[in-house]
Amino acid sequence: IRAVEEVAAKQLPGGYGYEFSGMTKEELSSGGQSAIIFILCLLFVYFLLSAQYESYILPWAVILSIPTGIFGVFAAIGLTGISNNIYVQVALVMLIGLLAKNAILIVEFAIQRRRAGKSLLAASLEAAKLRLRPIIMTSLAFIVGMIPMMRAVGPSALGNHSISIAAAGGMVFGVVLGIFVIPVLFIIFQFLQEKVTGAPIAVAHAEHHLEDYGN
C-alpha cells in the first residue's frame, strides 16, 4: 500500500488519482482498529479470569500463553506467502478465545490438584498430562474444519485461505508449544500468588505435618 502511494505521488500527472478497493480498502478503513480490538479482547479475558480465580496474578498464566499461537499465525502466513490482511487479523482475535480455552483446561485442573495438596510441579505436570488428550481432540477438530476453507476457490478464495491458514497455523503452534509453556507459567504465577495469599489449606496442612514428622 505504501509503495503504491509513493509511486502514485511521483508518477501520476496532475488531475489523476487512485483508489483502493476490495481487501485493501477494508484494511485501510479498519486502520488501527484491529490492534485495539485485540487488546480489548485480551483485557476482557483477563478480567473474566480474574473474577473466576479471584486473583489478579494467576490469569497471567493464561494470557501469556496466547503469544505461542500468534507466532504460529505469522509463521503460517509467511510460509504460504499470505499478507497480514484483515482476515488474518480476524483469525488472531479468534485465536485468543481458542488458545485461552486450552490454557484454562490445564490451569483449572492444576489449581484443583494444588488445592488437594500436590506440589506446584506435580500439579502442573499432572494437569498437562491429563488434559493433553481433550486439548488435542478439540484442536484437531478445529484444524480439520479449516481444511475446506484452505481448498476454497472462486472470488472469496483469498479471504478463506487467509483466515483458515492463519487460524490453523496458530492453533498448531499454540497446542504444541502450549503444552510445555502453560505448566511453566502456572508454576511461576501460582508461586507468586501464594507469596501474596499463602498456600492452599491442604498444602499448608501437609507442610505442617511434615514439619511435625521432622521434629
How many H-runs (helices) and E-runs (strands) does the chain carry? 9, 0
Contact between residue 149 and residue 29 where contact means Cβ atoms under 8 Å apart: no
Element (DSSP H or E) covering residue 88: helix 86-115
Q: Which CATH architecture has domain 37-214?
A: Up-down Bundle (1.20)
Which of the residues in the chain have pLDDT under 50?
Answer: 204, 206-213, 215
Map grid coordinates 492444576 to a residue. Answer: 110
* pLDDT on residue 38: 87
Global confidence as pTM: 0.79
* pLDDT on residue 209: 47
* pLDDT on residue 33: 76
Numbered ranges of CATH 1.20.1640.10 in the chain: 37-214
* pLDDT on residue 14: 72
* pLDDT on residue 15: 72
